[in-house]
Amino acid sequence: MLSKQGLTVVLASRQLAAGEETAHDISAAEGGDVVVVELDVSDVESVSRCATELVSRGVRVDVLVNNAAVCLDGGVLDIDSAGVDTAVRTNLAGPFWLVRAFVPAMVRSGYGRVVNVSSGWGSFAGGLGGPVTYSITKAALNGLTVKLAQQVTGDIKVNAACPGWVRTRMVVLMLHGAWNKVQIRLFGWRPCPPTVHPAVFS
């Protein structure tokens, strides 16, 4: 949809081959330019390299969509430390590093848009449902959204979006994992092959 509006889409992926495949699908369906870069949002050095590469390629980021996330099963008392670290670095630190990498240029130009993809599970009003690391990192992402919006100036809009259940790789893996029976009972879903690619990477 963005490419149809004349925007150049930057598709960032941990795996370039998968990114190139998705970029081909987007171009075939919508036309327009899709730039593929390697990015692991959980690694601050990878974020820095991505930003440097885009500058070297003459690509200016006017719209930043932070939608990468992991949803690991487990509660406060039983999830292992590696899972906590992965969730925090991916769901919270990644967006934090990305806004620090790209928003300053938006401020200098006086225009920009930031969309942090959050979740109803990150809502205090909604009871912080779901696995602990997912819900608390999404709640913190909402806090990051508010704090960034308070700081930026000019025509820069910062929002969090809670799209609900979307058929992404993360959701597919959840359906094939420990939550399978719960999701089927609550939503009437059935597992689908774990070959679905996210529409957009970040």
Catalytic residues: 134
Alpha-helical segments (H) within 57-179: 81-88, 94-109, 132-151, 169-176
Under 8 Å between Cβ of 49 and 25: no
CA–CA distances in Å: residue 52 to residues 76, 90, 109, 177: 38, 20, 18, 37
CA–CA distances in Å: residue 4 to residues 21, 64, 191: 19, 17, 32
Residues 6+ apart with CB under 8 A from 192: 167, 172, 175
Nearest to 9 by CA among 105, 103, 22: 22
DSSP bridge partners of 12? 37
Radius of gyration in angstroms for the set of CA atoms belonging to the chain, rounded to a whole number: 17
User: What is the C-alpha separation between 18 and 23, in angstroms, rounded?
Assistant: 9
Under 8 Å between Cβ of 133 and 88: yes
